[in-house]
Every structure is written in C-alpha cells, then in structure tokens.
Chain A
C-alpha cells in the first residue's frame, strides 16, 4: 500500500518530528510501531515540534496517535511541554483539534477481585441459584396446574387449535426419528445380548432381556431424552424469543395469561405425545430386536414372538408407559421455565436453551430412578 506513514526525527533545536504519509486506520499497525519507536525520544529535548506538512491524510485514529504523542510528551512536564504542531493543513485541523478534546477524563477503574475470591463467589452464587431455580420450577408447576384447573372449570377456554398444532409438531412429526432411533437401540441390545449370551448357551434369553429392558426402561427413556433434545429445546427457544420481543408482555397486557395461552397447550401436547411415542418406540425397538435375533441369532420370528409372550407381561409395559406422562411434564415445565428466564440477548437465549436440554435430560433420568425405586417397593 502506498503512502505508508512515517515519522523522522530532525535534530534541532528545536527538535522536529516530521510526519508524512497517510495517518489513517488502514495503517494503524505501522502507526503504532512508529509511536512505540518514538516514545523514548519524547522526554529528552527541551523543545519539540511536530511538522505535519507532509501528511497526506488523517482520520480519527491517526489524529489520536498524534495526540498520544503530544500527551506522552506533555506527561513528562505539564502543558508547557506540549509540542507545537506546524504545517497542519486547514482541512485536517478541525479533526485534530476535536480529537485533542477527547479522552481527557480517565474512567473510574473497575475494581479487580482476587481470583480465588471470585471463584468462591461464583460457587456461592451458583449454589444459591439452585434454590431459585427450584422455586421457579415449582412456580411454573403451580401456574400450569392453576391454568389447567381454570380450563377444567371452563373447558371453552382450552386452546384446542394450538394444542393440536403442537401435538402435530412434537408427536406426529417426531414419529419417524423416534422409531428409527429406538429400532436401532433395540437391534443393538439384541445383537450384544446374543453375542454374550451365546457363550453360556443362553441365546434364547435375549428375548427376555430385550423385552423387559425395552418395555420397562430403555424405550421410554430414549424417547424422553430425544423429546427433551428435539421439542424441549424448541419450546425454550420459542418462548425465549417471544420473551425477548416482549410478546409475552403484550399477551399479559391484553388480559391473557401467558401460561394458559403458550405453556399449557405445549405441556398438554407433550403429555399426550410422549406416551404415544414411547409406545411406538417400544414397538420399533422390539421389532429391531426381533430382526436382529432372526438375522444374527438365527431365531425365527415365530419363536421370538412366542418367547416374548412368555417373557413379558402387561405389567412391564405399564411400568414403562406410566412414566411417560411424568417425564413429559418435567420436560415441558423445564422448557417453559427456561424460556421465561431468557433476557435481552441472543447469547442468553442460547444459554437457556442449552440449560433447558441439560436439565430436562438430567431430571428425566432422576425421575426414572425414583420410579424404579417406587415400582420395586410396590412389587411391580
């Protein structure tokens, strides 16, 4: 690039700094190097002036560096030592003079905290936040329950269209991917079972394992985790962006309850969809298991079905499917609560969406464990 800025020292007295070239932002790297080079020489001479007659262009950045040279010089001994500017073209004078007025006030220094203290502080804040989050969760649970109660007393206020639309999104449209995943999981479990059970000559028991595992645990768990990732995140993002754009406030001012309008249809849709998806998922997983037993284990479909009859009872299916609506409720509530916690920025939307997925998967697994204990103690 032509017109590279330069700064040469001409011996005095008075000592003159001859500036030339384009003092513009495109040459800012060169300008900064010039400043660093000239800095040690600024304190020395008793009299200093800066000759700008060869400067071809100047902008704010260039003017600021010029000003920085002047201030560095003046810093050594007050205003009297501020170097005189000569040869300044009239077209540039306005800008240079304007920049001289800037940055005169040093901002109040931000207090810096000790590193360990800061970490401890963060830990404490995060710990206390758990309490708030639990309160938010319980709050939204209560709000949804209250809204549902109002709907029960006045069924006309239920948002059927919205619920059906959400049901189509989180239920109907999710069927292919849910069935594909559970099919693969069923096939993998069966394949592993056959592979290891064969050593004991117990391949036949793979049917028991696949049947019980899929119906009781894996089917519903995989589907719930998938739903949390697929639909829970979408709920959080939708509600969060509505919150960002004040749509939720707009709803409230129209006398409508955002929980009733936005959250209840979504949660209800999820509660209806998840058991259906879990059922279809279990079917797909058993189908995958049976296919694998046939192709890999040499067990004919007729035998697989006969053994499955013996191995599983309707209790196993009940244990699995009872959990589904509760998991749906947890996913829906977490998604809504996180969505409502979104603040102004896009970053916050991303953070809450992540946190929604992480929390709902965590709680789904915890819930599954609680149910396992419960069913074991009642002998199911």
Chain B
C-alpha cells in the first residue's frame, strides 16, 4: 500500500462493479502529494464509487490502488474522510465527535483532548460553544464543518471530501472552499474532492479529473480540462450553468 515518488494515491486499471453492471472500467488515476484534485462526473457515474473504492469501503474486481502510507506519522491518521451527509455520530456531541478518533487511538487526558477539539473547531470556523451541540441541532453548514473537523482530528495526510459544498448556500460554499484551501496550505494536505460545484473546481482545485463511461476522460488544470474534446466534458464545462459562472474569468461564487 505504498505509493512511491510524488504520488499520494495511485490507481491502476481499477474495475469496480455491482452485479452485472460495471461502474468503473479499467480506471487509472494518479493523485500528487499536496495537491487538491477535484473529481467531476455525471450523477450516478461512479464518482462516489471511486472514492469509496480508494478508501477501501468497496471491494474491487481488478486493478490496484496504492495509497501513500503514513510514513513517519505511524499508522494512525493516514486519511480523513468527509462523508456527503457528514456521518457524524448522532449519539455524540460535536466535541465528542471530533475527539472520537483520538480517543480510540491514544490515551490522552480529557483536558488535552478538549483543547485539541476546541482548536479544531476554531480552525473550521466554529465557536467553542458549538462543541456541546448534538448533530441533530446543527445546521447543514455546521454539520459539514464539524465533519471536516473530525476528518482532521488525526491530522491526516490525505483528506477525502465527498461533495463538501453540496447543500450549502453560495456564501457558505465559498467560505468552505477557502477554509479547505487554507487548511490544505497550512497542514500540507493532499485533498481528493468529489464535487459538482464549478465554483469549487475553479477556485481551489489544482487539477480536475473528469469521470465518464467508467474512466477518467480528462485530467489536468481547469483550463486544460475545459478544452477537452470529450462530449460529456464539453457539455459539463460549456453548458448553460458553466457559462453563467463566467468560466473565463477564473473566479466565481
């Protein structure tokens, strides 16, 4: 499970399917260390499947997936995952949710854990008082922030985000984007992001990968991908919605 050189994640000829349906067909993708990569694709086209396969939640039929080992960081905290719905544990409050990975992996005093949780809450832009709230009392944006804080609890090398800005208003989505950018820069993270948000793609992604027909059909910077000839990619980046976002200005939301 160790990728070499600059690669944080290396996927080769990956095949994933359910029953008779093949969702990913000999897919290959390299994610460089320290970059933010955005994965786009049609709904139901296998974006989440690819992410879940990389994380190891789905069995693969063929090919290989190598994910950067933690190296000197030891075994814990290799990756943090932000699930689409947050997946916060509903019986724990926000602070306990953030402390959970730490509590499970190390024996640390409650005081230190509270301080670390408070620091993480502040890093994702929440107030310390929000730590006492239960997931059912949190708004959509706050849920995402707490889930991000939990994903960051063990200072992972790789952060997986499944549609981080879906369900957020444009202002909150923009804030969330810049938050991810800041955290990525400060903590030196590799970020693998599944998204539909053209704004996020333009604003923070170093590279964009387009998934269609079970393969990566375009990979590169936003400008490179935009010039791709693949019909789906053209439709995606030159459709009505994309034009409304003034793709050429390079700045949106």
Contact = CB atoms under 8 A, between A and B. Distances in A.
Co-complex (A, B): yes
Contact of A103 (B115, B154, B185, B186): B115
B144 to A, nearest CB: 16
A57 B73 contact: yes
B155 A25 contact: yes
B72 A61 contact: no
Contacts of A378: none
A25 B102 contact: yes
B123 A102 contact: yes
Contacts of A99: 119
B91 interface: yes
Main SS at interface, chain B: helix
A346 B136 CA distance: 10
A59 B70 CA distance: 13
B218 interface: no
Most buried by B among A24, A105, A110: A24
B76 interface: yes
Contact of A61 (B75, B90, B137, B155): B155
B91 A347 contact: yes
Contact of B107 (A3, A29, A344): A29
A65 B116 CA distance: 9
Interface stretch (B126-134, B168-176, B239-247): B126-134
B122 interface: yes
A60 B102 contact: no
A98 B102 contact: no
A354 interface: no
B118 A95 contact: no
A99 B152 CA distance: 14
A1 B74 contact: yes
A345 B119 contact: no
Nearest to B90: A345
Most buried by A among B73, B76, B77, B137: B73
Nearest to A97: B186
Contact of B73 (A22, A32, A102): A22
B141 interface: no
B186 A95 contact: yes
B186 A108 contact: no
A22 B189 CA distance: 17
Nearest to B74: A26
Contacts of B120: 60
A102 B122 contact: yes
B55 to A, nearest CB: 20
B186 A94 contact: yes
Given A2-B72, A64-B119, 6 more contacts: A1-B74, A25-B102, A107-B127, A107-B128, A108-B129, A348-B136
21 contacts: A2-B72, A22-B72, A22-B73, A25-B76, A25-B155, A26-B76, A29-B106, A32-B112, A56-B72, A59-B187, A61-B116, A98-B123, A102-B122, A103-B115, A103-B118, A103-B119, A103-B122, A105-B128, A344-B135, A345-B91, A345-B135
The 10 closest A-B pairs by CB, nearest first: A344-B136, A26-B74, A345-B90, A59-B155, A107-B128, A347-B91, A102-B119, A345-B136, A346-B90, A102-B122
